[in-house]
Amino acid sequence: MIKTPIYLDNNATTQMDPRVLEAMLPYFTEKFGNAASRNHPYGWVAEEGVDYAREQVAKLIGANEKEIIFTSGATESDNLAIKGVYEMYKDKGNHIITLTTEHKAVLDACKHIEKLGANVTYLDVESDGLVDLKKLEAAMTPETILVAIMYANNEIGVIQPVKQISAIAHKFGALFFTDAVQAVGKIPVNVIEDGIDLLALSGHKMYGPKGVGALYVRRKNPRVKVTSQMDGGGHERGMRSGTLNVPGIVGLGKACELCIDEMETEAKRLSVLRDKLENSLNELEESYVNGNINHRLPHTANISFKYVEGEGLMMAMKDMAVSSGSACTSASLEPSYVLKSLGLSDDLAHSSIRFGLGRFTTEEEVDFAIENTKKAVLHLRELSPLWEMFKEGIDLDSIAWAAH
């Protein structure tokens, strides 16, 4: 018997793995010391927990543990990277390049530094969600200090060609920062092989706790420096002051360790389930998969169902937790800015649903999702005059609608 509602919104957040919780629990009670208390065993035990977690996080992305700065999550990591690089290197140049499809934490941090005098280029992506490398290279200038492009998109799951992007950034003497929140723990990410100078990751996207994340800051070739955005006791190599969230950090470390062990088999299992979901839902007329289907995360499917309104569809799929657009901006009724950047019309962008599968998703749940979604789409189309007109062969684009 399936327990409803079934959870298919793993790009928004993931259920904490019980093994992660188990690792964290002692640090709330008997191992409760402050990791910065250097003069007694309580502090040493807490610090040991943090040091071990630093190694676990570093190992997942091929970094050195000294390059891991703990933060409160990816939003803080994104802000620390973008604002911190801008302040540190603004004498060298003030130009930053990013994409229109980035996470709001990146876009809003860029808007913030524009007020401080930064010159930010927001590149459009192609219709499949990928950056055009020629356009990126053409946008580079001697003033460019940072290229900030996400590893994999949170809404459509498209994976950017990070190796080529970092090569272009480095050719012009700029640093490369990637918000890798959706990619780390799901697919192999290696900061050395990929040429990444700064990388943001988050615990709650990979079966760890909320409220904890990390920023990788490269220490050599080149040595990267960022100015702190939070001042205090000079914790985390002076880049991020504040008492460390020891239980959260321990949980993040354990989550990374589990991903190292299980990522490969999980990716295979989830891509099979995702393909089953997509192929079945594509049997519906006028349904479209958004984003490049050859370069994407194994667990993400974003599908538009024409002539159906996304919010209405989600309400009709009441036994399922899915999303239209990203959880970070879903309070607005605007169509997803990511889908609009791909060139989708408002009505098609409005009719999209993101399915995010995860470690605890079963095949039975996917079968349930297929049946439930099909039923909801067909039901709403029956009620739609637009669908009726479409079925009668009327070209809806040619109609001049009367203004109210």
Q: Are residues 235 and 267 in the same domain?
A: no
3: amino acid identity, one letter: K
Q: Which of the residues are catalytic?
A: 328
Residue 7's DSSP bridge partners are 321
For the cut 50, the answer to whether the pLDDT of residue 181 exceeds it is: yes
Same-domain pairing of 254 and 326 = no
Residue 126 has pLDDT above 50, yes or no: yes
Q: What is the CATH number of the domain that holds 323?
A: 3.90.1150.10
Determine the pLDDT at residue 223. Answer: 96
Q: Which of 258, 283, 310 is the last residue of a domain?
A: 258
Cα distances (Å, whole numbers) of residue 199 to 147, 155, 251, 288, 324: 12, 19, 19, 32, 27
Please indicate, yes or no, if residue 1 is contained in any of the structural domains. no
Does residue 396 sit within a domain? Answer: no
**Whether residue 177 is found in the same domain as residue 325:** no
Same domain? For 268 and 252 the reply is no
224-260 pLDDT, tens digit per residue, is: 999 999 989 889 988 899 999 999 999 999 999 999 9
Q: Is the pLDDT of residue 346 over 90?
A: no
Q: Could you tell me if 215 and 283 lie in one domain?
A: no
Q: Where are the beta strands (DSSP E) in 142-258?
A: 144-148, 175-179, 198-202, 213-217
Count of the separate structural domains present in the chain: 2
Domain boundary among 237, 258, 279: 258
Residues forming beta bridges with residue 158, ordered by sequence position: 296
| Residue numbers of the domain that contains 97 | 18-258
| Residue at which a domain ends, from 227, 258, 289 | 258
Query: For 45-50, what is the mean pLDDT?
Result: 98
| 50 shares a domain with 176 | yes
Q: Is residue 267 domain-resident? A: yes
The pLDDT of residue 330: 47
Question: Do residue 284 and residue 199 come from a single domain?
Answer: no
Residue 400 lies in a domain: no
Average pLDDT over residues 27-45: 96
What is the arithmetic mean of pLDDT over 251-278? 98
Residues 196, 50, single domain; the answer is: yes
HEC sequence for 53-75? HHHHHHHHHCCCHHHEEEECCHH
Average pLDDT over residues 154-172: 98
Same domain, 235 and 302: no
When mean pLDDT is compared across 32-36, 278-282, 383-387, the lowest value belongs to 383-387
